Amino acid sequence: MKKYLLEVNHKPNKDGKHTLFLRISENRKMVRIALGYSIELKYFNKKSHSLRSGCPNASIIQEKFKLKKEELEKFELDSNKRGQIISLNVLKGLATESKYHNFYEYAEKQIARWRKTKSVNHVKHVESVIENLKLYANNKDLNFEDFSIPFLKDLEAHYVDSGNKSGTVRNKLKNLRTIFLEAEEERLISMEANPFRRFKMPKFFQEKKEKLSIEEIKSIIALEIPVFSPLWHVRNAFLFAFYNAGMVEKNFKKILFEAENNGSEIFSANFYFLRMPYFLMRSYKCLERF
């Protein structure tokens, strides 16, 4: 029976910290697998092979150790069911396999595929999420195994603190989750190594919208705005939608253009553009009864 323990290298690195390992032992033989983290020796409990309280990134390190252990144990169990005996060196080779460990590298490859199959807006959204993630990580390379549950919770809190609303936070995390699911489907990472399988996505809270009062609408109408300025057009488009019970200008244009294409001279495009201020003034009379 193989035994999995957290171990620290007693020889310090150049920065004075000590590298953490996952140690696998069996029949007095052992192999060590670097976890990619280093700590001060005072934070390691030699008796219990665990991290002491106050250790920086303790939750992330423990999560990575747990995932790596569970992945190797499952691989060994599945192999034993097939009648295969797995050696320590095979487990070490599996744990240190280097297929697309770099998250950014794989994400760029996936974005290149989506440029051919997805909409331009979708690709832009994903690219924006990746760029924001790089800023959050201080441009440090991130591997797939760096995405633990604590990391995702901290990232979610960062999005909220940055002023993002619940829907935006959820969409950003969903874009990251999609990349992980694609990598899992291509068997570049295992299901156990996908933290989104266990991460609880934030809920979407519908924002409460309040309608404008008649007095507020009248104040918008009374604004003195230079004719034909961008703001003048925006005000007219908004009032047009208001007068027509939410029907936006582009939908009305579509009706007019279809009528024109069907041979109707009355509802021509030129008629619409020249008469739009007239439509607004006529519609304004509906407010007089208030």
- Written as one string, the DSSP assignment of 211-269 is PPPHHHHHHHHT----TTSHHHHHHHHHHHHHHTTT--HHHHHHHHHHHHHTT-STT-H
* In a shared domain, residues 86 and 110: no
d(CA 231, CA 220): 11
Number of domains in the chain: 3
193, 145 contact by CB (below 8 A): yes
* In a shared domain, residues 89 and 24: yes
d(CA 236, CA 191): 54
96, 33 contact by CB (below 8 A): yes
* In a shared domain, residues 218 and 264: yes
* CA of residue 131 relative to chain centroid, distance: 11
Predicted pLDDT of residue 87: 83
Residue 61, Cβ neighbours under 10 Å: how many? 21
Residue 206: inside a domain: no
What Rg, from alpha-carbon coordinates, does the chain have?
A: 30
* In a shared domain, residues 118 and 190: yes
Q: Which of 93, 123, 140 is the last residue of a domain?
A: 93
Predicted pLDDT of residue 270: 46
Predicted pLDDT of residue 265: 47
Residue 207: inside a domain: no
CA atoms within 13 A on the CB side of 57: 15
CA atoms within 13 A on the CB side of 44: 19
Residue 7: inside a domain: yes
Predicted pLDDT of residue 143: 84
Residue 121: inside a domain: yes
d(CA 194, CA 67): 9
Residue 35: inside a domain: yes
* In a shared domain, residues 107 and 87: no
- Where residue 159 sits, what CATH number does that domain have? 1.10.150.130
Judge residue 94's burial from the number of C-beta atoms within 10 Å of its C-beta, 0-12 exposed, 13-18 middle, 19 or more buried: middle
d(CA 142, CA 135): 12
Q: Which domain covers residue 239, as residue numbers?
A: 214-287
* In a shared domain, residues 77 and 114: no
Residue 205: inside a domain: no
Q: What is the pTM of this model?
A: 0.49
* In a shared domain, residues 53 and 25: yes
Predicted pLDDT of residue 213: 87
Statement: residue 272 has pLDDT above 60: no
* In a shared domain, residues 110 and 193: yes
Predicted pLDDT of residue 15: 87
Cα end-to-end span (Å), the chain: 84
Q: Which of 135, 170, 197 is the last residue of a domain?
A: 197
Q: What are phi and psi of 192, to 5 degrees?
A: -70, -25
* In a shared domain, residues 162 and 144: yes
Virtual torsion, Cα 60, 66, 68, 71, nearest 10 deg: -140
Per-residue pLDDT of 11-21, as tens digits, reads 998 889 999 99
> Is pLDDT larger for residue 248 or for residue 159?
159
* In a shared domain, residues 152 and 178: yes
* CA of residue 201 relative to chain centroid, distance: 10
Question: What is the pLDDT averaged over residues 195-222?
Answer: 83
At 141, the pLDDT band (50, 70, 90 cuts) reads confident
Helix, strand or coil, per DSSP, at residue 7 = strand
* In a shared domain, residues 151 and 226: no
> Is pLDDT larger for residue 217 or for residue 268?
217
Statement: residue 44 has pLDDT above 50: yes
Predicted pLDDT of residue 255: 58
Q: Which of 93, 111, 137 is the last residue of a domain?
A: 93
* In a shared domain, residues 41 and 60: yes
Predicted pLDDT of residue 156: 93
Predicted pLDDT of residue 253: 62
Residue 192: inside a domain: yes
